[in-house]
Structures are given as structure tokens and as C-alpha cells.
């Protein structure tokens, strides 16, 4: 069965520091992978997606993610974090049913220190 694991529940970084959020997936074929961000009281905003092609994907707000098939990973990175990046981040994979059912990870809550 498809699954997504985000090993880090909480991460704290200082403003200006680099960031990497981990995501591992379990999927039988080439996955469609996504990163969403949820600010407090807000909905889910898509940061970036991977369908095929270049394994390094650029997203909004300066984020990027790299698809590594050999490691079943799709880690999210940002070279320099801003205080406004504090939020919860969800990795998701599209399920195998063909109906675009997204399977979400449990999320990583990012705290940014001034």
C-alpha cells in the first residue's frame, strides 16, 4: 500500500539557516509527489510537485525538492529560511487507484528563531 513518512515531527531552525525536510514514500510505480505548506488557520498551499523529468524541482517561495528513486525520498530544501516560513509542511503522493487520491504524511512543523 502507498504510504508517506515524514520522520521529523518538529524542526527548529534559525532565520537565515538552511532547511531540509525529509519525506520518504512507498509506492509501486513512478510516483507523483507533492509538498504542501499550511500556515496557522490557513488551507493547503502547493509548494512544488514532481511528475516526471528533472529530479530537482523548483517551487514557490524559494523551495526546491529532489526526487531520489533509489532512496524513495523527496526531501524539501531551502537555502535560507525566513521567519514567514514557519508553518506545517506536508509531503503527499498520489495513490494507485487512478482517482488522484492523495496520501499525506503526518507533517513537519517548522519553527523559525529570529
Phi first, then psi: what are they for 40, rounded to 5°?
Answer: -55, 125
The phi, psi pair for 73, rounded to 5°, reads: -125, 160
Map grid coordinates 508517506 to a residue. 4
Among 82, 106, 111, 113, binds another protein (CB under 8 A): 106
Which residue among 34, 35, 63, 67 contacts another protein (CB under 8 A)? 34
Q: Using the rule CB under 8 A, is 52 a contact of another protein?
A: no
Q: Among 43, 53, 54, 70, which residue interacts with another protein (rule: CB under 8 A)?
A: 43
- Residue of 28, 9, 25 lying closest to 91 (CA atoms): 25
Residues that bind another protein (CB under 8 A): 34, 36, 42-46, 49, 90, 92, 95, 97, 99-107
Amino acid at each position: 500500500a502507498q504510504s508517506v513518512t515524514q520522520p521529523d515531527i518538529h524542526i527548529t531552525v534559525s532565520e537565515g539557516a538552511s532547511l531540509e525536510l525529509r519525506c520518504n514514500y512507498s509506492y509501486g510505480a513512478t510516483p507523483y509527489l507533492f509538498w504542501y505548506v499550511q500556515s496557522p488557520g490557513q488551507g493547503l498551499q502547493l509548494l512544488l510537485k514532481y511528475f516526471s523529468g528533472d529530479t530537482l524541482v523548483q517551487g514557490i517561495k524559494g523551495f526546491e525538492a529532489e526526487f531520489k528513486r533509489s532512496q524513495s525520498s523527496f526531501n524539501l530544501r531551502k537555502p535560507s529560511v525566513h521567519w514567514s516560513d514557519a508553518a506545517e509542511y506536508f509531503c503527499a503522493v498520489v495513490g494507485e487507484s487512478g482517482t488522484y487520491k492523495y496520501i499525506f504524511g503526518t507533517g513537519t512543523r517548522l519553527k523559525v528563531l529570529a
